[in-house]
Amino acid sequence: MADANKQLRWYNVALIAFVAVWGLGNVVNNYAQQGLSVVTSWVLIMLLYFVPYALIVGQLGSTFKDENGGVASWIRRTGTKRLAYFAAWTYWVVHVPYLAQKPSGILISLSWLIKGNGNFVNEVNAKVVSALCLVLFLLFLWLASRGLTTLNRIGSVAGTAMFIMSILFIILAVSAPFMTHATIATPHMDQLSTYLPKFNVNYFTTISMLVFAVGGAEKISPYVNNTKHAAKEFPLGMLVLAGMVALCAILGSFGMGMLFDANHIPTDLMANGAYLAFAKLGAYYHVGNVFVILYALAQAMAQISALAFSIDAPLKILLGDADPHFIPAKLSKLNKKGTPTNGYLMTGVLVSLLIVIPSLGIGNMNELYNWLLNLNAVVMPMRYLWVFLAYILLNKQLSQFQSEYEFVKNPKLGMVIGGWCFFFTAFACVMGMLPKISYAATPGTWMFQLALNIITPAILLALGLILPAIARRQEA
């Protein structure tokens, strides 16, 4: 009967993981920061980071196949309960900037649907946008607290639609110069020098966005044990996944280069890039705004679903397996609908502060959007650090654990690979804290952004130290 569950083949694993990991936003955001040199960056990040990361997750998922808590469970089994609590806290708290950013994404997609252009980003005051975002977030917080599950169902439809639009973009953009009379926007796309990055400080401040783009492979871990011949087929599936992601990233970046001049990238490309790209493609193929409307609908649904899901799911992971020594009982208390009311209140306060405070020092809506996206690229990868720590700890005591799939058999080599991935992630997070705007042009805003980029993760992580102190006091 055990074999009845082992139905997934390598191609199933690769496809499931691809839909979970990939999206058009990854292409647009990284092109906005690096231009066409991002093509080389994609190849490097796949080989040096993404492949070992995915295979590490495979071994952890296979070793701890009966654990439901993901990263926190892996840390508890290989480390201590205190470390497991901090892993669970990090996994939850990194979603705070993510939740703060989602309402602005919803507003942008709605403005494209209603007005058919991206002027909203460049014309509306950041304080007005923050007020609208706050109202939207509080509405979804209230809906999530009512136990509304419909939005999660919308998510699977939206996810599929976004995936189709991503593939459609690549096909349409790459073939546009051959199928239509479109002119290629970036000069010298036939020269190797166009694709070579300058490895300076500015370049290293952008790698956190690449890490953010390829991260989240731990979502794949439950599928390891459902894979037929896991030891052979799971790594094959992961390598195929890496190839698919690399192909889409590279072709997508080529497509962006054909539509937008890599030497003169629009400042609102992160916020409006995908819509502007589909508007240009619609004009080339003589279908008007059809692509823009389809993408805006898919994007609005995806953002709404992600907002609703990310309020509830990470909090349930944090509180569901709560150790009373570290998490106060009041925080885990459920109401009649099974909602952790105080947990929702804590989420509401932190996200509201992160929506309101930045707009006091960043007056431009487009800058505010870009800053929040870059903050996500700094904070979100912090949860991946625990994956690599769990792998290092596993290799330290490898003989005590059984796994159907092993990435490398030599524990010392395993520790070196885990250490490299840990170091690279931490380096990307720290470098990502440097603002992506010109210091000479706006020194005040640059300093304000740098302060927020350092203080926000520090406060979010430090809050995790306060809860165990409250829990100890309550127990006493």
Kindly report the average pLDDT of the chain as a whole number: 89
Task: Name which of 259-268, 330-339, 370-379, 389-398 the model is least confident about.
Answer: 330-339
**Residue range 344-362: average pLDDT?**
92
In this structure, are residues 456 and 379 in contact, taking their beta carbons and an 8 Å threshold? Answer: yes
Q: What is the pLDDT of residue 415?
A: 97
Task: Name which of 45-49, 235-239, 459-463 the model is least confident about.
Answer: 235-239
In whole angstroms, what is the distance from residue 86 CA to residue 381 CA? Answer: 15
In whole angstroms, what is the distance from residue 430 CA to residue 452 CA? Answer: 13
Q: What is the pLDDT of residue 152?
A: 59
What share of the chain in percent tops pLDDT 90?
Answer: 57
Count of Cβ atoms closer than 10 Å to residue 181 Cβ: 7
Token pair 């899901």 in the structure block, residue: 309
pLDDT confidence band for 27 (50 / 70 / 90): very high
Tokens of 151: 């939005």
Task: Name which of 31-35, 294-298, 329-333, 400-404 the model is least confident about.
Answer: 329-333
pLDDT, tens only, 30-65: 999 999 999 999 999 999 999 999 999 889 988 887
pLDDT, tens only, 412-433: 999 999 999 999 999 999 999 9
Count of Cβ atoms closer than 10 Å to residue 73 Cβ: 20
Contacts 24+ apart (CB under 8 A), 174-177: 174/251, 174/254, 174/255, 174/258, 176/255, 176/258, 176/259, 176/281, 176/284, 176/285, 177/258
* Selection from 103, 95, 92 nearest residue 134 by Cα: 103
**Residue range 407-412: average pLDDT?**
93
Q: What is the pLDDT of residue 317?
A: 77
**Residue range 295-317: average pLDDT?**
86
pLDDT, tens only, 240-283: 888 999 999 999 999 999 999 999 999 999 999 999 999 999 99
DSSP secondary structure letters along 163-209: HHHHHHHHHHHHHHHHHS-PPPSSTTTTSGGGG----SHHHHTTHHH
pLDDT confidence band for 395 (50 / 70 / 90): very high
User: CB burial class (10 A; 0-12, 13-18, 19+) of residue 289?
Assistant: middle
Q: What is the pLDDT of residue 321?
A: 66
Residue 260 in 3-state DSSP?
A: coil
pLDDT greater than 60 at residue 2: no
Q: What is the pLDDT of residue 255?
A: 94
- Say what the alpha-carbon torsion angle 86, 310, 155, 129 is, to the nearest 10 degrees: -140
Q: What is the pLDDT of residue 4?
A: 56
**Residue range 456-462: average pLDDT?**
93
Q: What is the pLDDT of residue 144?
A: 82
Q: What is the pLDDT of residue 265?
A: 94
In whole angstroms, what is the distance from residue 170 CA to residue 438 CA? Answer: 32
Q: What is the pLDDT of residue 69?
A: 63
Q: What is the pLDDT of residue 264?
A: 94
Q: What is the pLDDT of residue 476?
A: 64
In whole angstroms, what is the distance from residue 430 CA to residue 433 CA? Answer: 6
DSSP structure class, residue 227: B
In this structure, are residues 428 and 208 in contact, taking their beta carbons and an 8 Å threshold? Answer: yes
In this structure, are residues 308 and 319 in contact, taking their beta carbons and an 8 Å threshold? Answer: no
Rg (CA), the chain: 22
DSSP secondary structure letters along 98-131: HHHHHHHHHHHHHHHHHHSSSHHHHHSBHHHHHH
Q: What is the pLDDT of residue 314?
A: 84
Q: Of how many residues is the chain composed?
A: 476
pLDDT confidence band for 1 (50 / 70 / 90): very low
Q: What is the pLDDT of residue 238?
A: 86
pLDDT, tens only, 119-138: 888 888 889 999 999 999 99
End-to-end Cα separation, the chain, in angstroms: 49
Tokens of 56: 């590490």
pLDDT, tens only, 154-171: 777 888 888 899 999 999
